[in-house]
Structure 1
Amino acid sequence: MLLAVVAAGPAAAVSVSDATAPDTVEVGSTVDVTYTVEDLYTNYNEWNLEGATELESVTWTVTTYDLSDSQLDKQQYNGQEFSHTLDKEGDVAMVEVRVQGTVPEWSNWSYEPAQSITLADFTESQSGGAENDLLTSTARPYTESSQAARTALDDATAAIQDAEDAGVDVTEATDRLDNARSAFNSGNFENAQDLAGDAQASAESAQQQSQRTSTLLMIGGVVVVLAILAGVGYWYLSNRETYDKLG
């Protein structure tokens, strides 16, 4: 029974780290990222390390090391996919995969969730056998104009949230923000930036108006209280009992 429970437990996984992978990449720029693959034989003594990417003009450099971190081999592959065989008998203990490529032109824009490009997708596979996903490394592609529009949308979203938290009606600002998001998703970044600016201005104006109204109401309340107190004081002075102590 114990053996059955152990067998049913989750299988150990090959470790792939992407500490150098960027969160954002500019369209047209060159990406250069190195991934480290360890714990190679937790599932199989021989298997294929496969990689794929959405980058263009791609070069993969696969470098293998033994247990003493001495380099054993280095191979290069061109194209958006590669496959490299790993064998425990070859004393390979660790692998570095360097991917170099260009961020392609982008048309599938999305503000939320943000558009995403696959820098590297790694798989552990056996010929005609099982296949395990190891790591999918992604980043947000951008252009100068798309980033300016996204920043404007972020600022407008924050302004609307602040106004809403203060109890202000932000219907108009929200409608403008929705239009700005639609423009962004269509790739019309200049229009998106303008609409986002309008949405932010609307939210801030509504909040300022609400604050002015609250201030005026507070001042009006103070004036009413002071008027009441003045009236009470006048009534008291006018109606208090007066008499001549000398009689």
Structure 2
Amino acid sequence: MTGPDPEEHARRLAAESLSADDPTGWFERLYAEAEQGEAVVPWDRGAPHRMLVEWARAAGLDGHGRTALVIGSGLGEDAEFFSGLGFRTVAFDVSATAVRAARRRFPDSTVRYLTADLLDTPDDWEKVFDLVVESLTVQALPRSVRLEAVARVAGTVGPGGTLIVVAAARDKRDDPDQGPPWPLTRAEVESFATGDLRPVRIEAVRDAQQPGVRRWRAQFHRDRPRH
């Protein structure tokens, strides 16, 4: 397809959505346009995020007998990766079009794909998942709802569970009002740690595929209650 720059087009849709006081509505518009061949989803690489794959392999991650939640699952590549590691995986996106596309892309998948809004997650997801994957979703939400989004993400991690976060890192040159994405500061990454959910490792990693771009990769762990 020929047309506007995918990232610029996403920003325009986001701006229109925000002006209507709807911080998440632009995702459905973008995926619906992509479905019709009228737009490109700029973060769809046709593969799981490299930084997640590196982390999982370095950790020797084995999900058998464990559950995972993939937040803002898009077209399903990250969810399928963690499902392939043995996790009983739930994946959700605010865009119903994206969810349908993921199901079509992986017709034999065991992932449970759902349409849901991060800012209004089901009550029965509270502190139940062994692994929670937050890759590039919070950074796509404006600062007006960021604290709520972070709290919602953190709240899904169960006792003994792990949260892995991947996000763009804010540089001094970045305009905090120009997005999406709206890159995260270190303080915003650290804010995922609340209560007994504690940071294990927070690192700023240079993106080998995009020289000069830094991304956060942060791991958190919720302690099991002591009896």
Note whether the superposition's TM-score is higher than 0.5.
no
* Higher share in strand: 1
The normalised TM-score by structure 1 is: 0.22
* Higher share in helix: 1
Higher relative contact order (CA 8 A, sep 6+): 1
Larger Rg: 1
